[in-house]
Structures are given as structure tokens and as C-alpha cells.
């Protein structure tokens, strides 16, 4: 039988722990920078869906659609969507509303992290 040396298994060294902590901090920082962008995109999808289901909106009027959309963006505190990000078209009795935008945030130092999003909904009325 071989004798087990209890002192040869001491666990992780200090540099290994520092590397693990650095990787975890990097992943956590990335999550806290990226999550708000995707959560905002989720809110925009929900706003478009609610506009699609709202029977009180005159879908022939771009102004009426934008006014309802703007109110909902304001309630959800979304400040990255402007009128020029929203395109509306009407064809064959269907209105298509498309929101295309880019967002970015500071990441570390001079680096930025960002995303480009495009969401669309067809209103059939």
C-alpha cells in the first residue's frame, strides 16, 4: 500500500484563486452591461405586441400609432427609441411597424459594448 501525503494536496494556490476571481468579475461585468440592453429589447417587443392587439388605434394613421407607442415607451422609461427608429408601411390592408435601433454602453476604459436590434409587427386590420 502507498502512503498518502496529506501535505501534497493543499487546494488552490493564490494565483489560481485570483484568476478565478478575475474571470468571475469579467463575466459579471459583462452580464450587468448586456442584460439591460436585452431587457429593453424585450420591453420593445411587448410594446409592439400591445400595439398590435390594441383595437382603439387607427392603424391607417402613422401619427396615432407613434403617439400610442411613444406613451408606452415613456411609461417603460425607454429613452433610446426616437421617431426616426420607427418605420411604418401599409400594404394590402396590413400595417407593418418596424423598430430598428442600436444601443451601446461603456464597458471598460475606452471599450464599448453594444447591440443592433430590429423588431417588427404586422397589424392586420
For 45-101, how does the pLDDT look when each residue is reduced to its tens digit (9 = 90+)?
A: 999 999 999 999 998 999 999 999 999 999 999 999 999 999 999 999 999 999 999
2 occurs within a structural domain? no
Element housing 99 (H / E): strand 94-106
| Residues with Cβ within 8 Å of residue 124, at least 6 apart in sequence | 93, 94
In a domain, 105, yes or no: yes
97 DSSP β-pair partners: 88, 121
Whether residue 78 lies inside any domain: the answer is: yes
Task: Name the residue range of residue 89's domain.
Answer: 13-124
Domains of the chain: total: 1
Residue 52 within a domain: yes
Residue 6 domain flag: no
Task: Output the pTM of the full model.
Answer: 0.81
Amino acid at each position: 500500500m502507498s502512503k498518502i501525503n496529506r501535505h501534497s494536496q493543499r487546494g488552490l494556490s493564490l494565483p489560481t484563486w485570483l484568476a478565478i476571481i478575475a474571470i468571475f468579475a469579467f463575466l459579471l461585468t459583462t452580464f450587468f452591461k448586456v442584460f439591460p440592453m436585452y431587457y429593453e429589447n424585450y420591453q420593445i417587443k411587448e410594446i409592439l405586441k400591445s400595439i398590435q392587439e390594441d383595437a382603439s388605434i387607427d392603424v391607417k394613421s402613422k401619427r396615432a400609432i407613434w403617439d400610442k407607442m411613444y406613451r408606452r415607451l415613456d411609461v417603460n422609461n425607454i429613452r433610446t427609441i426616437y421617431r426616426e427608429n420607427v418605420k411604418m408601411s401599409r400594404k394590402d390592408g396590413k400595417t407593418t411597424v418596424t423598430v430598428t435601433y442600436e444601443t451601446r454602453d461603456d464597458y471598460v476604459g475606452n471599450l464599448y459594448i453594444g447591440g443592433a436590434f430590429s423588431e417588427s409587427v404586422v397589424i392586420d386590420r
